[in-house]
Amino acid sequence: MAKRDARTLTRERIVETAVRIGDSESLDTLTVRRLAGELGVGAMTLYSYFRNKEEILDAMADHVLGGMEVPPAETDDPIDLLVGCGRAFRAMMLVHPCVVRLLSTRVTDSIDALDGAMEAVLDRLESAGLKGADATRAYGVLITYALGFSGYQTPRTWGDDPEGRRQRHHFYAGLPADRFPSTVRLAPELPTLASSEQFEFGLRLIAEGLAAAKH
């Protein structure tokens, strides 16, 4: 790869490249040396922007969270508003799979991150009639549900793939029926556990429960 003029480098470009590597591969393959090579500069050049990989990971989390968007509300129905917030978290994690691990390992105090992934959501939750502790608890339930589901789905690629579901169905159906009677009986349905339909099913139940529990 041809070396690029280091003077064209910016923190934003470094972070965007790091996010791209993290999303397309994994955070394990993201090293300072690998990142520098992708940018066409020496590894030492990056240390003039970030002191270490940990700072790069923090900046990645800030970048992704800061870019989260809560779509405009199309209704004032509390359940629909709650569902919309849950979908916004899920959409962010689908576009940027690396954020699942970043959120599980880091805490951010970035103004941009708090604005995109917290303030906007809390504002929407309050508009749904959730106030005080109700709004904060709802926020916690929605983000952790989206985070947990995304982490569960990531290695289970068959969820939204018909052929993958068929193969997984055969796997469950082929287990010893005397030891796994329920699993074998439910084999046609079990592959959907990692599907978008399952996420929507759980999200709707959560939204209905939160809306009903508000004070």
- pLDDT tens-digit profile of 21-66? 999 998 999 999 999 999 999 999 999 999 999 999 999 999 999 9
Mean pLDDT of 78-86: 96
For residue 76, which phi and psi values (nearest 5 degrees)?
Answer: -105, 10
Say yes or no to pLDDT of 7 above 60.
no
Query: HEC profile for 34-101?
Result: HHHHHHCCCHHHHCCCCCCHHHHHHHHHHHHHHCCCCCCCCCCCHHHHHHHHHHHHHHHHHHCCHHHH
pTM of the entire predicted model: 0.89
Burial of 44 (0-12, 13-18, 19+ CB in 10 A): exposed
Query: HEC profile for 147-204?
Result: HHHHHHHCCCCCCCCHHHHHHHHHHHHCCCCCCCHHHHHCCCCHHHHHCHHHHHHHHH
- pLDDT tens-digit profile of 140-169? 999 999 999 999 999 999 999 999 999 999
Token pair listed for 22: 């993290």
